[in-house]
Structure 1
Amino acid sequence: MARRAGVALAVAFGLALATAALAAEGTTRVKDLGKLRGWRENALVGYGIVTGLAGTGDSPTNATTRQALSNVFEKFNLSIPASQVQSRNVAVVMVSAQMPPFARAGDSLDVTVSSAGDARSLVGGTLLVAPLQAANGRTYALAQGPIDVGGYRYDANGNVVQKNHPTVGSIPNGATVEVGVTAQTLSPDQTITFDLTDPDYTTASRIATAINAKLGASLARARDAEGVEISVPSDQRDQLVSFVSRIEAVGVEPDRRARVVIDERTGTVVAGGDVRIAPVAISQGDLKISISTYNSVSQPIGLWGGNSGVRTALVSNSTIDVNEQLGPGYVPPRSNTVADLVQSLARLKTNTRDVISILRAIKAAGALHAELVVQ
């Protein structure tokens, strides 16, 4: 009897887990739908000098390179006028990096280095210390190190062999953070705001409802289609990380906009599987006209005796071929989607370019109930 009870309990527990999995199948975590306001990366930029190039640097007539190298020499008590600097082994470059929202002093950043002069290649070069500044003009990181270039360029006697772009390279972990930053997510009124990546009123309302149900209090409210404002209780302000972690784990079923994306350059069509189309008749066909010209030579035979006016003649014969294929006709039922339409057109052996034209025509006819995005 006890064994039967245990089996029944195990079956009931398994059914409960399966029901919970099915219920959560269509949900998405809140953290996958957007980010907290204030959570952003900061762009850093600076300029520096790359040395050690094998004659592929900036030309000796480049005034910027000469002045920059003269300034470097000046820091080491070498007074060399810019007019006397002559070298093809250095290049002036721009250095850029992205600083994460939470960065501490001593953290490393990846750096991108790109030539700012007329250097032919940065292969084998080493970046000297370059300060990286933010938009406020303050220096937050220092970059230095050997450059990794995924290409090359060699030329001799007018012959050039090049792979990829040798004037752009990277330095993994090439910058060291000197001044740390911290994202300010908690506002002065003790609230945090969650911003949706794709603003939508329905999704914002569902997020606020789900958060309130999870926390057991009316702390969240949708301010607009993009932002959901969440009040932080006084007992959670010292444990903000744990509080935000609970919010990010809340499951929500986001509302989707009906959208069809068309990339005409590659012939790609992407649409949601449930995008509906109204009843519409489609007829598609091709008219091909081919004009061919064949040239032939007419050579008279046996008329040369005393007939000075007889000459070889060039004769052109043209043919016109008109081929009109019967276009396939198709009338989708009332419950069809864009996915059904595309599959039906594929069975009719309709190429991708024609499918794009058909979708655009359906949208123009008012039968496609979705936003058509053409890239």
Structure 2
Amino acid sequence: MRRFLSALLLVLAALAAAAPAHAERVRDLGSFDGVRPNQLTGYGIVVGLDGTGDDNFEYLTEAMRGVSGRMGLTLPPGVSPGLKNAAAVMITAELPPFAKPGQTIDVTVSAIGKARSLRGGSLVLTPLYGADGQIYSMAQGNLAVGGLGVSGRDGSQLSVNVPTVGRIADGATVEREVATGFDTLGELRFNLNTADFQTAARMRDAINARYAGAARVVDAVTLSIVMPFGSDARAEMIAGIEMIEVTPAQTPARVIVNSRTGTVVINSAVRLSPAAISHGKLVVRIEEDPLIVQPEPFSRGETAQEEASTISIEEEEARVVAMPGAANLSEIVDALNMLGVGASDLVVILEALKQAGALQAEMVVM
């Protein structure tokens, strides 16, 4: 019996060692079609500001007329009220999937005019619209602003963070539910975050191993999964699928170059073939040493400046470095470090290696 247990432990240890080291859950590789958040936007008015509003902003004035009209107050024609205590704002929010009427969501309020600060303001009741033009939520509440802006009478100003953007926690109430087709469609589609046929095929096989014949590959991004009818059974199946572990396919070989910062990122799939590189630096130096020329005594001449320039050129001895073929990321880094060059020179060398066919990777310049 003891020998049997020992053998069983050895088998389990071998299986654990053979398990994929980089397996990911299905829920981390993509999402089900329709089960996603939706963006909402709206245009509104923030009132109660301490003289930091827009001040006679034309469309703010018209918006205030509309707000006053809804409250039963009609402003006389041609009257432009002083609006330093109000500001025109854009409201944005994200409607979570399956959000129901009566639930609340957070909103972000941003000034779109000349308001200096939204601190201490309150958002007037504002409808939030979806991409289809329908009202899905109503927003209202007091803003929490993390920034601070102050100014002096001489025009000097000081700002800490951004005082023209604020948030209202639970500031909008959901008024309409977004139809997802979750409980009516016979098949649900699962979309990968990154298009890859091999990852899609592996995910199909992993799902079918647990739910026989349920999944099929539509394209490099989408899998179609047959679902049982009934929301309870369907939710249980989706929960099980999302926790299945799949080993994604290796990412394509890429070298990412940020041309603004000089940052170079190389992923582990990059391969380097043997190559020889000659690299040197040319330094051109121009020195200006102007001379002041004085006129002779008792002459009518004037003091003048005579230009004197010295131009020198220095060229470092070019070194020829043999780049060995590298099979992994650490070897590529060691090979590139042999050159001892800066980020900008490294980008040029990588591009030349790509053109010479020695760098098996896609160059992506940001």
Q: TM-score, normalised by structure 1?
A: 0.87
- Cross-structure match for 1:154: 150
- Cross-structure match for 1:171: 168
Q: Deviations over 1:13-32 (max 9, x none)?
A: 37615632551312222221
CA distance, structure 1, for counterparts of residue 21 and residue 305 of structure 2: 77
CA contact (8 A) 1:107 1:176 kept: yes
3-state SS of 1:24 partner:
coil
3-state SS of 1:254 partner:
coil
Using the TM superposition, give the Cα deviation of residue 127 of structure 1 relative to its aligned residue in structure 2, in angstroms.
0.6
- CA spacing shift, 1:269–1:312, aligned 2, 3 Å: closer
Q: Deviations over 1:286-333 (max 9, x none)?
A: 100112122334669xx85xx858987755443222211124433233
CA distance, structure 1, for counterparts of residue 25 and residue 189 of structure 2: 16
- Cross-structure match for 2:76: 81
1:40-55 to 2 correspondences below 5 Å: 40-55=36-51
Using the TM superposition, give the Cα deviation of residue 87 of structure 1 relative to its aligned residue in structure 2, in angstroms.
2.9
1:124-143 to 2 correspondences below 5 Å: 124-143=120-139
Using the TM superposition, give the Cα deviation of residue 184 of structure 1 relative to its aligned residue in structure 2, in angstroms.
2.5
**1:322 matches 2:313:** yes
3-state SS of 1:207 partner:
helix
CA distance, structure 1, for counterparts of residue 357 and residue 336 of structure 2: 19
Match of 2:354 among 353, 359, 363: 363
CA distance, structure 2, for counterparts of residue 325 and residue 143 of structure 1: 66
- Cross-structure match for 2:236: 242
CA distance, structure 2, for counterparts of residue 308 and residue 75 of structure 1: 88
CA distance, structure 2, for counterparts of residue 30 and residue 116 of structure 1: 41
3-state SS of 1:331 partner:
strand
- Cross-structure match for 1:58: 54
**1:200 matches 2:196:** yes
Using the TM superposition, give the Cα deviation of residue 120 of structure 1 relative to its aligned residue in structure 2, in angstroms.
2.3
CA distance, structure 2, for counterparts of residue 32 and residue 317 of structure 1: 67
CA distance, structure 2, for counterparts of residue 103 and residue 39 of structure 1: 11
Q: Deviations over 1:34-75 (max 9, x none)?
A: 111112221111121111111111213x23222222332233
CA contact (8 A) 1:259 1:371 kept: yes
CA distance, structure 2, for counterparts of residue 121 and residue 335 of structure 1: 56
CA distance, structure 2, for counterparts of residue 191 and residue 144 of structure 1: 39
CA distance, structure 1, for counterparts of residue 128 and residue 270 of structure 2: 48
- Cross-structure match for 1:31: 27
- One-letter amino acid of the counterpart of residue 19, structure 1: L
CA distance, structure 1, for counterparts of residue 217 and residue 52 of structure 2: 58
CA contact (8 A) 1:103 1:182 kept: no
- CA spacing shift, 1:194–1:94, aligned 2, 3 Å: same
Using the TM superposition, give the Cα deviation of residue 98 of structure 1 relative to its aligned residue in structure 2, in angstroms.
0.9
3-state SS of 2:78 partner:
helix
CA contact (8 A) 1:186 1:192 kept: no
**1:260 matches 2:255:** yes
CA root-mean-square deviation: 2.7
Q: Deviations over 1:266-303 (max 9, x none)?
A: 22122222311222222222100112122334669xx8
Per mean C-alpha deviation after superposition, the further-off stretch among 194-203 and 327-336 is 327-336
CA distance, structure 2, for counterparts of residue 363 and residue 49 of structure 1: 55
- One-letter amino acid of the counterpart of residue 183, structure 1: T
- Cross-structure match for 2:272: 277
- CA spacing shift, 1:187–1:77, aligned 2, 3 Å: closer
CA contact (8 A) 1:297 1:313 kept: yes
- One-letter amino acid of the counterpart of residue 52, structure 2: T
Q: TM-score, normalised by structure 2?
A: 0.89
CA contact (8 A) 2:253 2:268 kept: no
CA distance, structure 2, for counterparts of residue 211 and residue 262 of structure 1: 37
CA contact (8 A) 2:147 2:162 kept: yes
- Cross-structure match for 2:332: 341
Q: Deviations over 1:115-169 (max 9, x none)?
A: 2333222121111111112122222111111212232322222222223332222
CA distance, structure 2, for counterparts of residue 96 and residue 82 of structure 1: 32
3-state SS of 1:356 partner:
helix
- One-letter amino acid of the counterpart of residue 240, structure 1: R
CA distance, structure 2, for counterparts of residue 32 and residue 311 of structure 1: 80
CA distance, structure 2, for counterparts of residue 161 and residue 94 of structure 1: 24
CA distance, structure 2, for counterparts of residue 147 and residue 119 of structure 1: 14
